[in-house]
C-alpha cells in the first residue's frame, strides 16, 4: 500500500534524511495556524495517493498564513488527480536551486532492488522518454546500498553535492529494507540555494505481504476508497447502487465495467480462490450493508472454487429479508447444484456464459422495480 507524502516523510526523517518542517491539516484554520508557527512562505500540498499533483493544482506556494488558509480551504474541496484530499501538508517553502531524482524500487525483470539517481522535477517521465532517464544500479539485497555503491552511482551521475547525496542513498536503503517497501522515491531531492539537500516530496509503497511475514504492523488505509481485507475477501466501497460479489479480481473488474454502462457499482469484492459457505455469507452480508444499493450481482467461477458451497452461504442470508433483486452468474464445477441452491433461495440465476447478459438481466430488473 502507498503512504501519504507526510507519512512517507516521517519515515525518511526517522532515518536521518532531511525533510522540510511541516504538518498536515484538514481545514484552512489549522493550515493557517501551522503557517504562522512556521513563519514566512509555505507550500500547501494536497495529500492524495497520486503523482503529478504539481501539474493539477495540488502544490501551491503561499506567501503568508492568510494565503495558506485560503489555499488549503480551496484545495480541500476540489479534486486533485481525481481525488478530493482529506488533508493538506503545510511545509516551510524551500529555496530550491536544483531538483534531483533518487529512488529504490524492485525491478521485476532482475528480481532485485534497483537504485536510481538522476535529474528530478515534475517532468521526470518526459525526460526519461527523451533519453534522460536516471542512472540505475542493481542492488544485492544481502549487502544493500553500501557507501561504495552509493558513491559510485553519484559519481557516474555527476550529481552534486556528492558526499551528502551518497549518504542520502544509503539512508534510503535503510528505509526501503526496514519498512519492507516496494518503492521509496524522492522526487525532487531539492538542492537548496545554500547547497544542502532536502526531500521535497516522498513516495513510499509498502509490500503488505512482506510486512506480514516480517511481523511488521499493517497500516490502516485511509481515504475515500478504503480497502478492507476480511478473511479471504478484498472489499472496497464506492457508494453506488449495484452490490457486487465476484470470485476473482478480473471477473470483478469486468463486471464493474459492464455495470457502469447503465448504473454505478456500489463496491468491489473479490474472494480469490478460497470460497466457502462462511466466506460467501460474510460477503453477502457486507455487500447488503452498503448504503443505497438497489441490486446485487454475483459472478463466480468454479475452477478449484467450490461454488456450490458458496451458494449455501448466499442462501443463508437470502431469507433474512433481502428486498433488492439478486442476480447470479455461476459457472464451472458443480454449476447445476449451485443453480439449484441459489434458485431455491430466491436468487435469479442467469445460465449464460456472457457476463454482459447477466448484468443486463439485473439492471433490467432494477429499472422495472423503480418504475413500479
Ligand atoms: P508531485 O507533482 O505530486 O510530484 O508533487 P511535488 O511535491 O514533487 O511538487 C511538485 C513541484 O513543486 C516540485 O518539483 C517543485 O518544483 C515544486 N515544489 C514543491 N515544494 C516546493 C518548495 O518548497 N519550494 C519550491 N520553490 N518549490 C516546491
Ligand atoms: Mn514529486
d(CA 28, CA 159): 39
What does the pLDDT read at residue 270?
95
Using DSSP's 3-state secondary structure scheme, residue 230 falls into strand
d(CA 280, CA 314): 6
Nearest Cα to 225, choosing from 233, 235, 214, 237?
237
To test ligand 1's pocket by mutation, which of 5, 200, 204 has the most ligand atoms within 8 angstroms of CB?
200
d(CA 85, CA 294): 29
Nearest Cα to 44, choosing from 290, 34, 291?
34
Q: How do the pLDDT tens digits run along the chain, 372 residues long? A: 889 999 999 999 999 999 999 999 999 999 999 999 999 999 999 999 989 999 999 999 999 999 999 999 999 999 999 889 999 999 999 999 999 999 999 999 999 999 999 999 888 888 888 888 999 999 999 999 999 999 999 999 999 999 999 999 999 999 999 999 999 999 999 999 999 999 999 999 999 888 878 887 766 665 566 778 778 899 999 989 999 999 999 999 999 999 999 999 999 999 988 899 999 999 999 999 998 999 999 999 998 899 999 999 999 999 888 899 999 999 999 999 999 999 999 999 999 899 999 999 999 999 988 655
CA of 42 to the centre of ligand 1 (A): 11
Lookup: cell for 342 = 441459489
Asked whether 326 and 296 are in contact (CB, 8 A), the reply is yes
Asked whether 204 and 184 are in contact (CB, 8 A), the reply is yes
The torsion region of residue 243 among left (phi > 0), alpha (psi -120 to 50) and beta comes to beta
Lookup: cell for 363 = 439492471
What does the pLDDT read at residue 142?
96
Nearest Cα to 351, choosing from 336, 322, 333, 329?
329
Lookup: cell for 182 = 516496494
Closest-lying ligand 1 atom to the alpha carbon of residue 81 = 3
Closest-lying ligand 1 atom to the alpha carbon of residue 20 = 23
Point out which residues pair with 185 in neighbouring strands. 103, 203
What does the pLDDT read at residue 371?
59
CA of 139 to the centre of ligand 1 (A): 28
To test ligand 1's pocket by mutation, which of 44, 49, 54 has the most ligand atoms within 8 angstroms of CB?
54
CA of 3 to the centre of ligand 2 (A): 14
Amino acid at each position: 500500500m502507498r503512504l501519504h507524502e507526510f507519512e512517507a516523510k516521517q519515515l525518511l526523517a526517522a532515518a536521518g534524511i532531511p525533510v522540510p518542517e511541516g504538518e498536515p491539516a484538514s481545514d484552512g484554520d489549522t493550515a493557517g495556524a501551522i503557517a504562522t508557527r512556521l513563519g514566512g512562505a509555505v507550500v500547501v500540498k494536497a495529500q492524495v495517493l497520486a503523482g503529478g499533483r504539481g501539474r493539477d493544482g495540488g502544490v501551491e506556494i503561499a506567501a503568508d498564513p492568510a494565503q495558506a488558509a485560503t489555499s488549503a480551504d480551496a484545495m480541500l474541496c476540489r479534486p486533485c488527480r481525481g481525488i478530493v484530499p482529506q488533508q493538506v501538508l503545510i511545509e516551510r517553502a524551500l529555496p530550491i536551486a536544483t531538483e534531483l531524482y533518487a529512488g529504490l524500487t524492485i525491478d521485476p525483470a532482475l528480481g532485485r532492488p534497483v537504485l536510481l539517481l538522476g535529474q528530478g522535477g515534475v517532468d521526470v517521465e518526459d525526460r526519461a522518454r527523451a533519453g534522460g532517464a536516471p542512472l540505475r544500479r542493481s542492488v544485492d539485497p544481502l549487502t544493500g546500498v553500501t557507501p561504495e555503491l552509493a558513491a559510485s552511482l553519484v559519481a557516474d551521475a555527476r550529481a552534486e553535492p556528492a558526499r551528502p547525496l551518497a549518504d542520502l542513498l544509503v539512508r534510503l536503503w535503510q528505509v526501503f529494507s526496514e519498512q519492507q517497501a516496494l518503492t521509496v522515491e524522492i522526487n525532487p531531492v531539492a538542492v537548496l540555494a545554500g547547497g544542502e539537500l532536502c526531500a521535497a516530496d516522498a513516495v513510499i509503497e509498502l509490500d503488505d505481504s512482506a510486512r506480514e511475514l516480517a511481523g511488521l504492523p499493517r497500516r490502516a488505509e485511509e481515504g475515500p476508497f478504503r480497502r478492507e481485507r476480511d478473511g479471504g475477501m478484498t472489499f472496497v466501497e464506492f457508494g453506488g447502487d449495484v452490490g457486487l460479489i465476484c470470485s476473482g479480481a478480473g471477473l470483478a473488474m469486468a463486471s464493474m465495467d459492464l455495470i457502469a454502462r447503465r448504473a454505478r457499482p456500489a463496491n468491489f469484492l473479490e474472494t480469490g480462490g478460497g470460497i466457502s459457505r462462511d466466506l460467501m455469507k460474510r460477503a453477502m452480508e457486507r455487500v447488503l450493508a452498503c448504503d443505497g444499493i438497489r441490486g446485487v450481482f454475483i459472478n463466480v467461477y468454479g475452477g478449484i472454487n467450490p461454488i456450490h458451497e458458496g451458494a449455501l452461504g448466499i442462501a443463508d442470508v437470502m431469507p433474512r429479508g433481502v428486498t433488492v433483486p439478486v442476480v447470479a452468474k455461476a459457472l464451472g464445477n458443480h454449476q447445476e447444484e449451485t443453480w439449484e441452491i441459489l434458485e431455491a433461495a430466491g436468487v435469479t440465476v442467469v445460465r449464460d456464459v456472457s457476463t454482459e447478459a447477466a448484468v443486463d438481466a439485473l439492471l433490467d430488473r432494477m429499472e422495472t422495480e423503480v418504475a413500479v
